[in-house]
A and B are shown apart, each in its own frame.
Chain A
């Protein structure tokens, strides 16, 4: 069976960056259209319109190239960031060459206008926040250098640019960490499921061998019979463990209730249930399981250490019925009453009394040749 290994945390974080760079690509396109429209609208005012067209051409080409370049993680090296920022700064510094005195006097927008912002945001997405702030500072200085004198609006723009660089850098960092954590958690969950599957396969193999040893040992007799018996005990214990594990995996009964079947002793008895959990409030389930243990203890004492016993759990919805049966000689009618009269309350007190405390009833069925059967009927809640 092929197991999905879960996403690689590093790759998942790279994917986050790629997504952000694509969003940045859209932003680049929007500000490019804005810059083109603005410059063409005031085309008449420029002193060197031909150079302006060349600059606008550079912006179009660079927008296309840089969007493509940032799309693959392996192309996102420091040179690309530097080149991107360099082009933005260069275009900014070319502004005085094409704009007329009048334009500069009235603090008209630079040639690239907002087109320079994505270059700084790229640093914020892909580099450390300190570097992003550095890029923002470089761009701001370039902007200031082309102004005749800094107006209030220029300072405002610089402030916004620094703020955006810091916020975007911080958000990207947080997002990246979150995605890495999630990817790691997914991997661990996949590994856990795989370990469980392997454990089940190993357990099954061990169970098979133990059952075989038990069988062959019993047949061989002598000292091997003892080995066989031990193997049988271990097989029953392991099987109970595997089943309990499956229950834990399958259902979380929750709400302070537990699965009664998990609390019942398994080896070396035969426990039969409905094939699904029997949820009960935890204290009641524990008390009922303790009564069952007392019944089985009684079997061990009165019938024999290795005496077989059967436990049947029935879920009737409103109530739960647990039957414990042994193959002993049975209790002759009247024997319990007799014991009670003599003041030996052992069985009766520990079983009938405890079940009555749970609001239930314990019935005893016993006949020669049929063994002894305790039927415990207990309301569920």
Chain B
């Protein structure tokens, strides 16, 4: 499924995907359409622009992943809306690509995301690194076990991704298998997503408890 409010872009992406033999089960121009059509068509992969009429790309990501945990969300955004990208990833998106990427890169990203891989751009890796450092400095950090942390290896891998190395190059440099590199990258995201969910649940519980008083 392709979600973008610019018809021109939507068509271009659809054409590329269909030309490569992938099936586009639905398209949508707004967040609302996206949610309704995703429920009806159950796409494997959703290619999502973050700047769409409400609900926002971040909210759509969260709802899609909640409805169907097997759906893969690939964010395709034009201007580097940095905070939004990070929020979308925390909400459950597993891939991020800027719109200036070539169609070959887009197809590769869609295929890899469909297989369960994580598609990281150097920009996203930088954001995730920054987010972990922010969490480590934050007031919650002293609380201990609740705050997600990166292992040394994960930090190393993320930094290499942020410096523009491909998974293959990283595997070579660290003498690891390609799969292991992918696992490290996925773990960094999974921990952030889990933390995000825990925070939401905690927030909901606190609100609920407060109401009883």
Measuring CB to CB, which residues of chain A are less than 8 angstroms from any residue of chain B?
Answer: 203-205, 207-209, 211-212, 214-216, 218-219, 232, 235-236, 239, 242-243, 270-276, 308-310, 312-317, 323, 325, 327, 367, 369-370, 373
Contacts and interface: CB of A to CB of B under 8 A. Distances in A.
B146 interface: no
Interface of B: 6, 8-9, 12, 51, 78-80, 82-83, 86, 98-100, 102-103, 121-127, 129-131, 133-134, 137, 159, 162-165, 169, 172-173
Given A274-B129, A274-B130, A275-B130, A212 B173 contact: no
Contacts of A236: 100
A352 B44 CA distance: 50
Contacts of A316: 133
A207 B78 contact: yes
Nearest to B86: A275
Given A212-B8, A273-B126, 5 more contacts: A208-B8, A219-B103, A239-B78, A273-B82, A312-B162
**Of A211, A369, A373, most B-chain CB atoms within 10 Å:** A211
A314 B123 contact: no
A75 B189 CA distance: 68
A317 B12 contact: no
Contact of B122 (A215, A232, A276, A312): A312
Contacts of A271: 123
A309 B164 CA distance: 8
Contacts of B133: 274, 314-317
A313 B126 contact: yes
A275 B127 contact: yes
9 contacts: A208-B99, A272-B122, A272-B123, A272-B124, A275-B83, A275-B130, A275-B131, A323-B163, A327-B164
Contact of B100 (A235, A272, A308, A317): A235
Contacts of B165: 325, 370
Given A208-B9, A211-B99, A274 B134 contact: yes
B100 A214 contact: yes
A273 B134 CA distance: 13
**Of A203, A270, A272, A370, most B-chain CB atoms within 10 Å:** A272
B100 A232 contact: yes
Given A312-B122, A314-B129, A317-B137, A367 B173 contact: yes
Nearest to A309: B164
A21 to B, nearest CB: 45
A212 B9 contact: yes
Contacts of B121: 270
| 3 cross-chain pairs, A with B, having the tightest CB-CB distances, nearest first | A274-B130, A272-B126, A310-B164
A209 B12 CA distance: 11
B99 A243 contact: no
A204 B51 contact: yes
B79 A312 contact: no
A204 B172 CA distance: 38
A275 B12 contact: no
Contact of B164 (A204, A208, A211, A270): A270
B58 to A, nearest CB: 14
B80 A312 contact: no
B95 to A, nearest CB: 16
Contacts of A373: 163
Contacts of A327: 164
A203 B51 CA distance: 12
Contacts of B159: 312, 314, 323
Contacts of B82: 243, 273, 275
A48 B122 CA distance: 99
B173 A370 contact: yes
Given A204-B78, A242-B79, A369 B126 contact: no
A327 B79 CA distance: 25
B52 to A, nearest CB: 11
B104 to A, nearest CB: 9
**Of B122, B129, B163, most A-chain CB atoms within 10 Å:** B163
